[in-house]
Amino acid sequence: MEYSAKQLQIIEVAERLFSQKGFAGTSVRDIAQEADVNVSMISYYFGSKEKLIEALFEIRMSESRSRLETLVQSEDLNPIQKINMLIDNAIDRLMGNQCFHNIMLREQLSSERTPVISDHIRNLKLRNLELMQQLVREGQEAGVFRKNIDMSLMSTTLYGTINYAIATQEFYRKINDLENMEEEEFQKYLRKRLSQHLKSLFKSTVTNEHHIEN
């Protein structure tokens, strides 16, 4: 599916507004006005407000997927380095598309799911998990990772932490006295801290044999 410049413009505005005010909280008039197009264009171009958000997922999910697949190609790294790459890839994807991942998280919080979107999300999550499990298996075979790692919970921690860090970044700024830092610099800083934090978490967990066994 190809989208015209005007369609992409609408999608981008919609992404921002859905992120800020939620899907139900955003009217097509809001979108049309900010995208500087006629209201009827949204139904005209996409069929409905529902189809618009589906188009958004279509685009962003394929981007996410291709960025995920670049990970597979890196062959000459050791298991820990690969895990670290996966972590940075996740941080980049989520931090670099905060609006979209905000929408995606909301979608997962909702019980009014659209099949098309749910499928997208499930597929990406499956692929994510698959990749993580493969990396871990490699590490285990190389003897550097411990057995009995619940990768689905590690994955939950990875995405849960990043998502929650994004959601509460303002609070993080305040309590760490970073309120005067430039927005761009803060974003870089937060990425770095998240990267260190998550790498440390993962390293301790996948390598440490002395974990709790209850």
CB of residue 5 to DNA, shortest distance in Å: 9
Contact range with its own copies by CB under 8 A, out of 37-45, 46-54, 62-70, 102-110: 102-110
Closer to its own copies at the Cβ: 11 or 206? 206
Select from DNA, its own copies, none the partner in contact with residue 30, using the beta carbon and a kind-dependent cut-off of 5 to 8 Å.
DNA
Q: Over 133-160, what HEC string results?
A: HHHHHHHHHCCCCCCCCCHHHHHHHHHH
Contact range with DNA by CB under 7 A, out of 31-39, 75-83, 119-127, 144-152: 31-39
CB of residue 108 to DNA, shortest distance in Å: 21
CB of residue 121 to its own copies, shortest distance in Å: 8
Nearest Cα to Cα of residue 45 among 55, 58, 33: 55
Per DSSP, the three-state class of 113 is coil
In this structure, what is the dihedral angle of CA atoms 191, 202, 61, 193, given to the nearest 10 degrees?
Answer: -10
Q: What sign results for the dihedral spanned by CA atoms 132, 133, 136, 138?
A: negative
Tell me if 22 contacts DNA by CB under 7 A: no
Closer to DNA at the Cβ: 46 or 145? 46
CB atoms within 10 A of CB 82: 21
CB 126 within 8 A of CB 120: no
Which two tokens mark 193? 């801290």
Tell me if 46 contacts its own copies by CB under 8 A: no
Q: How far is Cα of residue 187 from the mean position of the Cα atoms in its chain?
A: 15
Tell me if 48 contacts DNA by CB under 7 A: yes
Nearest Cα to Cα of residue 154 among 66, 90, 62: 90
Contact range with its own copies by CB under 8 A, out of 5-13, 18-26, 39-47, 55-63: 18-26
Residues of this chain that bind its own copies (CB under 8 A): 19-25, 102, 105-106, 108-112, 122, 125-126, 129, 150, 152-154, 156-157, 159-165, 167-168, 171-172, 175-176, 193-194, 196-197, 199-201, 203-205, 208, 210-212, 214
Residues of this chain that bind DNA (CB under 7 A): 4, 6, 26-30, 37-45, 47-50
